[in-house]
Structures are given as C-alpha cells and as structure tokens.
Structure 1
Amino acid sequence: MYAGLMMKPGGGWAVLEYNCRLGDPEAQATLPLLDSSLAELLRAAAAGTLADMRPRWRDAAAVCVTLAAAGYPDAPRLGDEFALAPPPAGDGLLVFHAGTAPAQGRTDGFAVSGGRVLNVVGVAAQQAEARQKAYRHAAAIGLPGAQMRGDIGAES
C-alpha cells in the first residue's frame, strides 16, 4: 500500500492517490510479517469498520529481492528456461512468480515471460539474516543472465 501525497502551498497535504498492489515487492516483503488475517482486515476495510481493528505483526524482518531477466529493462530476453524447486518449508523463504510461464515440453521448469521474473523473500528475526536468506536463495535459482540489485536491505 502506498499513498501519493502532495504538499499544499499553504501547508498541509493532499492525497493524490492511494494504492494497494499485492503483487508488488513492497507487499511481498510486508505481508509475510502480518500475523492477523488479511481476509478479515480486507473485509473490515470494505465494510468501513477497519478503524475498529488492530492488526498484529510478527516481530521479524523481511527482505524482497527481485530477479530480472537478462536485458531488462530495455529489452528483456524472453524464453530463457530454468528449473525452480520450492524453497524448504519453514526456512523463512518465499518465491513469488512475476514474469514466468511454463517451460515448453517440461513439467519441472519455467520460462521467462517478462522483465521482472521472480521475487525472493527472506524472513528472519533480524534484517541481516533475512537479507542473507533472500540473496542466497536468489543466487541459487540459476536463472540464465539474471540481474538483481545488490543493495536491497543493506545497512546504510
């Protein structure tokens, strides 16, 4: 969720837009920390009773690393195939598909179908550990020509 805000010339703020995109990396790093029921929170928002609820959050950190296709952003190379085993259960790792499609003639693989291919989320008690998990798993995926930023979740 985010709000596009603009400061008014005389002071105060104006809301330009308010958005919720559950497929964005920001949501993918936030929602694993939600301890409340997302469905109940959304139902309350639709009913206008969200102010009566207090969401519960896990005391943890999450870091989301995006794997982009070779050539991204100008000319992402489509069709590259790769295998992807699910992360070990309970290991604090999640993988979200973005620009993927089933690989042709294979049941165990995927093909690149867009610029941003996968988002890997590491969840741990501390941010440094969550970051390490996300980057370690992202590097092990073996996406041909994969690109990823190296500064996500880094201490400044």
Structure 2
Amino acid sequence: MPAYDLIELLFFAYRDFVSDPDRILGEYGFGRAHHRVLHFVSRQPGLTIAELLDILRITKQSLNRVLKELIEKGFIESRTGTADRRQRLLFATPQGHDLALKLAKLQTRRIMRALADAEPAAKEAVSRYLLCLIDPDDREHVKRLVFGPGKT
C-alpha cells in the first residue's frame, strides 16, 4: 500500500475518532485541547503543570488558556503541592472526571468495534504500529505513560 494511502486513511480515521467527542465538547464550548488536558489530568491525578506540558508538547501560554477555562468551569482544580508549595498539582473534579470518562467511552467503543473481528496478533500489531509512529526518542516515555511502570 502506498504511503499516501496510509496518510489519508490515518486522516480519515482520526477525523472519525474525534468526531463524537468533538460534538460533546462543543456543548461546553471546549475543543480538542481541552479534551487532551482533561484526559491526562483525569488519568493521572496530581499531575504537575510541567509534566502536563511535557506530555502535550504545547506552549505554557496555550496550556494556561485551556487550563484556565477548565478550572473556571469546574472541570479541573489546581492544588498547591505539599512538598513544594510553588508546585501546582492538577486534579479532575467529579464533573471533569465524568466528562473525561464519557469521551473515553465513545472512543473506546469505536476502537473495540474496529478490533472486534481482528485476531489477537493483529491487535498487538496495531499497538506496535502506533508506537512506531511515535518519535523513537520518546517511545519509552510514552510506553511508561500509557502502560505504567514495569509494563513497557
């Protein structure tokens, strides 16, 4: 299969993968940046601003705008660090966690539908393929984030 065909398939797959969450996020006046922040904060309670910036690879200015909206609307709360009072730790509120879960369930359903008829080896191949799309110098870091310590 030519690479251009794969590029287009990836564009179309991503379009549909984010379409359901986009509709729900729009009801709140949120976009994909809000979704990503909410997802990672919900999955990793107590995440620091620096850790979130490292995960998302966005500017502090971009994060501040999105984070401010999520905090003001009651989806995320920022707490002062216990060990370092200058540190801000991020937590999803119950409302934020519920929204993150609702969005994840939509995407999980789409993924499970796509993998329903695939062999176990094909499921592993999809995981390996997605990891290979990630820059080589970042793969181990991403594996730790996604699969947790000791599961890489």
TM-score, reference length from structure 2: 0.22
Higher helix share: 2
TM-score, reference length from structure 1: 0.22
Larger radius of gyration: 1
Higher strand share: 1
Of structures 1 and 2, the one scoring higher in RCO (CA 8 A, sep 6+) is 1
